[in-house]
Structure 1
Amino acid sequence: MIVISLQSGSNGNCYYVEANGTKLLFDAGITASMATRRLEEHGRDINDVDALIISHDHGDHARHAGVYSRKYKMPLHITQRTLEVASKRHGIGRVNEVSHFRTGEVISIGNVSIETIPSPHDASDGCLFVISNGNKRLGIWTDLGHVSDELYSQVSTLDGLFIESNYDPLMLDNGPYPAFLKKRIKGPEGHLSNIDCAELLQAGTKLQWACLAHISNNNNSPETALATSRRITGNSIPLYTANRYLSTEALKI
């Protein structure tokens, strides 16, 4: 299984996963042309993608879903509520082919299965993903305000994980954001701190690697996020960071 973050952050999110001949995109928060170029950098063709799966209705994850669907005739997998809200807020327009799932269900696409886990985030019907090819298991877990018991249980089954490490608490507290926004970010349906991320990684006993994602540009830095996770985990897991402006290398499990 191969996974590439094409971009990760509040300015747009998109992940490419390839397993057993099945090629998938998760989220469409960057333009289709940008996704095309970044896939080409890795020798991949967006026309070969089998489906697009959307995690939740926020613009940095969903705003370009309609273009992907229409331009590349890409089947769209999304909850009905997420599609309704994203269409209203972001004007995603007509979609070529849509399959609705309910959060908590397992989706089968090609040769992979995708577990959808409810996300503790302030979206209307958000979910996190565990992708399996029958042998390896990958998590894509961003935009969550706290770590649920289910996630602590699930992380011990994963071989690879993209995990939100959004903010450093001191940087957020001392930063320029207004009080209401700081409260939202730190709240139980906001975003995950570096400390919470690192404590979750401690439970990932099978992890071959983890990639810290959705790193804030104002209240964090890749270096700070990495230092926190390395300190708390004892540097026991190979760590990467997902960039706000570039794709990652192709990570394998």
Structure 2
Amino acid sequence: MITIQIQGSSSAGNNYVISDGDTSIMLEAGLSPNKLAKKGVKLSKVIALLITHEHGDHTKHVQDLLLSGSFDVWASQGTLDAIGIERRCHVLKDGQQQRIGDWLILPFNTVHDDPKVPAKEPLGFFIKSPSGERIVFATDTNRIDA
């Protein structure tokens, strides 16, 4: 059974951890490694960091997390370019399924909810755990165009 831990969900910082008990996928990098450790997050179990878009409440601690863990960052090219990540990163594309460890990730385009502060290339994620359980993750989203 997968578990979802919400570490932060606000303009102060977003971070979520989805786990199957053995490995975890982290979503968003809005909280520091120290804050995550205090909340019981084990970075050693994280196999990937997925980022939906480049705004600071979702990406502020990307570099710190890369230094503290052995996982890579996965996001759209527009997001990676906007936050300046050039190492330990992988590009996700709308509709192209990606295997990360035993997890399957299907990214999809979203429309950011604030047209005054648009995101470059925001994504949502359909995530399938190693046990076959599924979850859809989309945040700061005005709508999802099918």
Question: Does the pair score TM above 0.5?
Answer: yes
What residue is the counterpart of 2:101 in the other structure?
110
What residue is the counterpart of 2:125 in the other structure?
129
Is the Cα contact below 8 Å between 1:8 and 1:14 reproduced in 2?
A: yes
- 3-state SS of the aligned residue for 1:115? strand
What residue is the counterpart of 2:115 in the other structure?
none
- Give the superposed CA RMSD: 1.9
Give the structure with the higher percent strand. 2
- 3-state SS of the aligned residue for 1:50? strand
What residue is the counterpart of 2:52 in the other structure?
55
Is the Cα contact below 8 Å between 2:8 and 2:15 reproduced in 1?
A: yes
In 2, Cα distance between equivalents of 1:140 and 1:103: 14
- 3-state SS of the aligned residue for 2:105? strand
1:100 deviation in Å?
Answer: 1.7
- Seen in structure 2, the aligned counterparts of structure 1 residues 94 and 67 have a Cα distance that, compared at 3 Å, is farther
Aligned-partner residue type, residue 82 of structure 1? T
- 3-state SS of the aligned residue for 1:29? coil
Alignment of 1:63-142 (within 5 A): 63-87=60-84, 95=87, 97-121=88-112, 122-133=118-129, 135-142=132-139
Q: Deviations over 1:44-67 (max 9, x none)?
A: 422221111111111111121111
Greater than 6 Å deviation, 4+ residue runs:
none
When Rg is computed on C-alpha atoms for both structures, the one with the higher figure is 1
In 1, Cα distance between equivalents of 2:25 and 2:144: 26
In 2, Cα distance between equivalents of 1:6 and 1:139: 18
Q: Deviations over 1:92-135 (max 9, x none)?
A: x674x222222332121111111111011121010111111263
- 3-state SS of the aligned residue for 2:10? coil
- 3-state SS of the aligned residue for 2:54? coil
TM-score, normalised relative to structure 1: 0.51
- Seen in structure 2, the aligned counterparts of structure 1 residues 125 and 24 have a Cα distance that, compared at 3 Å, is same
In 2, Cα distance between equivalents of 1:10 and 1:129: 20
Alignment of 1:1-253 (within 5 A): 1-19=2-20, 21-38=22-39, 40=40, 44-87=41-84, 95=87, 97-121=88-112, 122-133=118-129, 135-148=132-145, 150=146
TM-score, normalised relative to structure 2: 0.85
Percent of aligned pairs with the same amino acid:
23
- 3-state SS of the aligned residue for 1:60? helix
In 2, Cα distance between equivalents of 1:119 and 1:146: 6
1:147 deviation in Å?
Answer: 4.6
Aligned-partner residue type, residue 125 of structure 2? F
Q: Deviations over 1:179-231 (max 9, x none)?
A: xxxxxxxxxxxxxxxxxxxxxxxxxxxxxxxxxxxxxxxxxxxxxxxxxxxxx
Is the Cα contact below 8 Å between 2:47 and 2:70 reproduced in 1?
A: no
